[in-house]
């Protein structure tokens, strides 16, 4: 099996589907085994396939293999990919990247869940956009910088309760839970204290802020998803285990954006 599906531009569609299906089966087995260790139902864990830098052909193959939840990290790409794949009616789009306020218009109403709100201004921009358009509330998670890392975005743990309370009061936004990305370590067990800390934070906020559920915990990726599930994750964000390692990232992004722009132009001609 090739290291990455992205290197297989000439791969036939049926071969892409087969390869994604094999990777997906392995990930699902890992989820099932982790759930069994802590007496959880595997259906309580949503697998979000992170598709940043992936072309629409790979996404179609992943969908054919049985995936319906897809996460994108770039607002413009979410807009373009969701439009290009609008014929796949059962896809749910998640936004998992950093949010620029001026790009909220690409997210609100397109994403079933925005995982990465870490400022009140961002939530207010989403609220304003929703009230100007569909009026259907946008589900969001608050991103917590659980490791207090200077290089990462996210609200600091001690400031999260106040932010959650203020977001929870907004019209057009539904606060559903918390998200975190712990400090990187090749040993997944070293992520456990951070995942456990996010769950404890959610429990504390839920107990102290009326009408706040915070049932969703978005935590865990390809290398530490088992530990995240054992600590209560309801959403895991998986890219590498499904599609292989990312290489030549910027060139691939530009190539995919050019392809999507050409498709859009063709549709408008």
Report the mean per-residue pLDDT for the chain.
90
Judged against a pLDDT cut of 60, whether residue 1 lies above it is answered with no
pLDDT tens, residue by residue, 51-110: 998 889 999 999 999 999 999 999 999 999 999 999 999 999 999 999 999 999 999 989
pLDDT tens, residue by residue, 221-241: 999 999 999 999 999 999 999
SS3 content of the chain, % helix, strand, coil (to 5): 50, 15, 35
Angle between the N-to-C axes of helices 56-64 and 75-84, in degrees from 0 to 180, rounded to the nearest 10: 60
pLDDT tens, residue by residue, 43-52: 999 999 999 9
User: What domains can be seen in the chain, in order of their start residue?
Assistant: 5-268 (3.20.20.10)
Judged against a pLDDT cut of 90, whether residue 261 lies above it is answered with no
Residue 267 binned pLDDT confidence (cut-offs 50, 70, 90): low
pLDDT tens, residue by residue, 144-158: 999 999 999 999 999
φ, ψ of residue 172 to 5 degrees: the values are: 90, 0
What's residue 207's pLDDT? 83
Nearest to 112 by CA among 89, 128, 131, 132: 89
φ, ψ of residue 62 to 5 degrees: the values are: -65, -40
Mean pLDDT calculated for residue range 39-45: 98
Neighbours of 61 (CB within 10 A): 26
What's residue 53's pLDDT? 86
Residue 113 near residue 176 (C-beta atoms within 8 A): yes
Judged against a pLDDT cut of 70, whether residue 172 lies above it is answered with yes
What's residue 12's pLDDT? 80
Mean pLDDT calculated for residue range 14-34: 96
């Amino acid at each position: 099996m090739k290291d990455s599906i992205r290197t297989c531009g000439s791969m036939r569609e049926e071969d892409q589907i087969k390869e994604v299906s094999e990777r997906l089966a392995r990930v699902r087995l890992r989820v099932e085994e982790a759930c069994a260790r802590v007496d959880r139902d595997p259906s309580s864990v949503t697998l979000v396939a992170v598709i940043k830098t992936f072309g629409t052909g790979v996404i179609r193959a992943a969908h054919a293999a049985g995936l319906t939840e897809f996460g994108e990290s770039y607002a413009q790409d979410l807009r373009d990919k969701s439009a290009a794949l609008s014929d796949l009616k059962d896809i749910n789009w998640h936004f998992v990247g950093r949010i620029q306020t001026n790009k909220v218009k690409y997210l609100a109403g397109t994403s079933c869940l925005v995982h990465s709100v870490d400022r009140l201004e961002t939530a207010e921009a989403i609220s304003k956009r929703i009230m100007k358009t569909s009026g259907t509330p946008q589900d969001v998670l608050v991103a917590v910088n659980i490791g207090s890392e200077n290089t990462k975005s996210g609200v600091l743990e001690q400031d999260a309760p106040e932010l959650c309370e203020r977001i929870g009061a907004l019209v057009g936004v539904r606060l559903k839970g918390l998200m975190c990305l712990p400090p990187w370590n090749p040993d997944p067990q070293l992520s456990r204290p951070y995942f456990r800390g996010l769950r404890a934070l959610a429990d504390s906020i839920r107990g102290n802020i009326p009408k706040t559920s915070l049932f969703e915990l978005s935590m865990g990726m390809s290398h530490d998803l088992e530990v995240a599930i054992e600590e209560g994750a309801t959403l895991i964000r998986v890219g590498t285990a499904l599609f292989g390692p990312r290489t030549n990232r910027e060139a691939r992004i530009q190539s995919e954006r050019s392809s999507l722009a050409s498709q859009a132009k063709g549709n408008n001609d």
